Amino acid sequence: MNEYLGGKNVIVIHHSPRQGQENNEITFSRESLIQIGKWFSLVRVTGFDIELDGALYNIKPFLDLFRKNRKIIQMRHIKVKMSTMTEENKKDLLDFIREFPSVEELSLWQCKLSDKDAPMVIEMIRASSICNLNLRRNDFSGNGICKIVHSVPVAHWARLKRLDMSYNRIENAGGLGLSNLIWMGNLTALYINDCQLGTVATAAILYAAACSNIEILELTNGMIDDKEGAVALKYFLENNGNIRELCLKFCTITDSVLDKIAPVIYKCPRLWRLNIKGNHALTVGAVLKMLDTMQYHPKLGSLDVCFCEEPWPTPGVYVKRVEERLRLFRKFRSMIAIVSTRAIKRIGSKSPLSILPIDVFRVLQVMLE
């Protein structure tokens, strides 16, 4: 157990099983509960962080400790990561949240929750004041997500600011449900990485996010094709003036998509981080077009862009044109990362590049001039 500061005082309990003891039980002794109880009189506890891997665990004695100190705590943050979360644990946690409606941050990370647990999640959201919800790495499907979205009153979604549904099997059905949530709520951060989203769901989310307050959008392994996906992405960049961080890794983005969005990048005045690594054969020509557009970006001095082009062409006219752009970006101290499978070179943090293309030594020479 330990306690950390930074806007919140949270009791942290982490446990990893020893080798060969995958399902060993964890119980609190009377002495350990007394020791934990002393923290309540020392600091104003605002929550707890429980992380238990491969352990059978009864959380009720721990929750009862918070109940006994109800008058001197301000319950705001609950984070639970339990790979063996039992039905009894789920019921105890739900009852606890009902007793503490002031909970603002709820994280049920990697708890093996599935569609049958959707009613429990719905009741937790209804019974609390959640503005940060993390259901990362569970087993929800699109149907379960739609049930959660449409069963919670709009007034509760209006409070939600951050949502992480990454690594669930959301697919197209759940993606369309999430797009409805974006329309209804006031999200500022959305994380939907590796959710098996198709072209239709990805486009629907981008269209909804275009008219929202979203500042951070992570959409890894989505499907952005040359037609509907490209139009939706362009519409998002043109209309969302709040976006600060945009991650579109492994989204099947091609040169055709880059050509369409390059002219509108400057219309995102707050954008300072763009990650499009791992996409389809981004040629130097498309990368150069993006670099040309970024010259006019209002945040050029702090812009952080990560490309991935595969394969990088042989040295020649393209490398010379890249060198010209690098001189410009070195002047503005921007961070441009260009990743090549043929040659990867890391240099110091003071440089405007974090990873260099194939002609490493030639580009280094330019940057050191």
DSSP-H helix ranges across 69-187: 87-99, 118-126, 142-151, 154-157, 171-184
Contacts of 85 (CB under 8 A, 6+ apart): 111, 112, 113
Q: Report helix angle 60-68 to 30-42, nearest 10.
A: 40
The pLDDT of 329-343, averaged and rounded, is 44
Summarize pLDDT for 83-100 with one digit per residue, the tens. Answer: 778 888 899 999 999 999
352 versus 331: which is more confidently predicted? 331
More confident of the two residues 351 and 309: 309
In degrees and rounded to multiples of 5, residue 41 shows phi and psi of -85, -15
Of 114-118, 131-135, 314-318, the range with the lowest mean pLDDT is: 314-318
The amino acid at residue 175 is G
Helix, strand, coil shares of the chain, percent, nearest 5, are 40, 20, 40
CB 1 within 8 A of CB 12: yes
For residue 210, pLDDT beyond 60: yes
SS3 115: helix
The string of pLDDT tens digits covering residues 176-194 is 899 989 988 889 999 999 9
pTM of the model: 0.79
Q: What are the tens digits of pLDDT across the range 50-71?
A: 877 655 677 888 888 888 887 7
Is 76:102 a contact under the CB 8 Å cutoff?
yes
> Does residue 166 register a pLDDT over 90?
yes
Taking residues 186-206, what's their average pLDDT?
A: 93
- pLDDT for res 259: 83
Beta-strand relationship, 10-15 and 2-4 = antiparallel
Q: Residue 112: which region, alpha, beta or left (left: phi > 0; alpha: psi -120 to 50)?
A: left
